[in-house]
Amino acid sequence: MNIVVVGLSHKTAPVEIREKVAFEADALEDRLAQLLALPYVSEAMIVSTCNRVELYAATMRPEQVCVELQRFMAESHGLTPAVLNPHLYSYACQDAVRHVFRVTASLDSMVVGEPQILGQIKTAYGHACDCKSAGLVLNRFMHKAFSAAKRVRTETAIASSAVSVSYAAVELARKIFESLENKTVMLVGAGEMCELAAKHFVRYGVSKVLVTNRTYSRAETLAESFGGVAVNFANFREQLHRVDILLSSTGSPDYVIHAADIKAACKLRRYEPMFLIDIAVPRDIDPAVGKIDSVYLYDVDDLQGVVQANLKEREKEAIKAEEIIDQEVLRFHEWLANLTIRPTIVALRKQLEGVRQKELQRTLSSLGNLDDHERKMLDAMTSAIVNKILHHPTRLLKQLNCDDDKLRYLDAVQMLFDLSIQPPSDDMAELPED
């Protein structure tokens, strides 16, 4: 049995292509049933996110199934192969295993180390389980992918540093204040970046969120979502002395906060530290504010510098992560290779053992009065003969890879010995010794 992956991602296809091949959640059951109906597809799974759409399959015929999955991807969305195929990638066997393990560990993500993809893969696997399109192979495969991702998270620092501007602001604030508990945050502006940063600040324990915006209703809406307080834009400067952390992004062509505003606030605060983040372009905060004692001012370029430095650190950690992935790929590949050939080896050994037992009993009956020692000697001798006969073919089958030429050896053995092959099960994870 082998793993096959066919798909596209942000690396191979623009958004206008990705959105055309996305699978709707309420249509997954039908789509998975259609995948299982394809020739040689034993198990199937669909991953569909904004950045990637991938089909996973377990099969004994990887080359044929790659072609079938490409055709399925195009026909399911009314696209021609000429339009879609240039954006598709196909992986089979060990390459497919490595690809999925890397994806699940977020090594193939737009932002290396981001945590969302693991949850998305788990959701996709959950759909496959619910629709009963995942069996022995995909069950083991996905659990190994999840454990590989966990190893990457725990044994490397790939996700420990901020790689977004909004989170970099929170990371810097935590360094300045050590703890964000009992701190007050003010958002000047109610745009997406301010909202994202506020979510991070709340997650790390700030006690109060103040929101001001030129449109007061927008400030009220955003403040309500965080259990905060809206402040009228005309007099928000009067509240600055209450603020430990201020994040500004208004889109104003002129400075919104001046040095005099912050000096007055610092005096009322008795020069307790203030952290100001200006992510507006043009800038909202007069750069002269950064020269005031006890005030820490960062603009968007400063934060981008933090992000870039952190990205470089993640790249270093990614090298360690790739080593972990290589180890896990080999372990799963060994299990999968054993699963593929074990039914044939078990059937072959069972058949020869049956012949041995039958002939041994016939011989013992014809020999007459033998003592227990002599009977055991004959049993051991015939058992050794069978083991020696099986030794070479068993070793050869254990060395098989997933290409069709070598799979023919399995077919040949099954035909030559007229073997009855049972489907693999959980207890076929390991091969017996020769």
Please report the pLDDT score of residue 68 as a whole number.
Answer: 96
Superfamily of the domain at 165-293:
NAD(P)-binding Rossmann-like Domain (3.40.50.720)
Please report the pLDDT score of residue 237 as a whole number.
Answer: 95
Give the rounded distance of the alpha carbon of 269 from its chain centre.
46
Please report the pLDDT score of residue 144 as a whole number.
Answer: 96
CATH number 1.20.140.10 is the correct assignment for the domain at 2-161+313-332: no
Please report the pLDDT score of residue 280 as a whole number.
Answer: 84
| Residue-wise pLDDT tens digits, 275-295 | 999 988 788 999 999 999 999
| Residue-wise pLDDT tens digits, 300-318 | 888 877 777 777 777 888 8
Extents of the domains making up the chain: 2-161+313-332, 165-293, 339-428
Please report the pLDDT score of residue 99 as a whole number.
Answer: 97
Q: Active-site residue 66, yes or no?
A: no
Please report the pLDDT score of residue 406 as a whole number.
Answer: 62
Please report the pLDDT score of residue 118 as a whole number.
Answer: 92
Please report the pLDDT score of residue 369 as a whole number.
Answer: 85
Which regions of the chain are under pLDDT 70? 160-164, 400-407, 422-434
Task: Pick the catalytic residue from 50, 66, 194, 266.
Answer: 50
Please state whether the predicted TM-score (pTM) of the whole model is above 0.85. no
Place of tokens 């505003």: 261
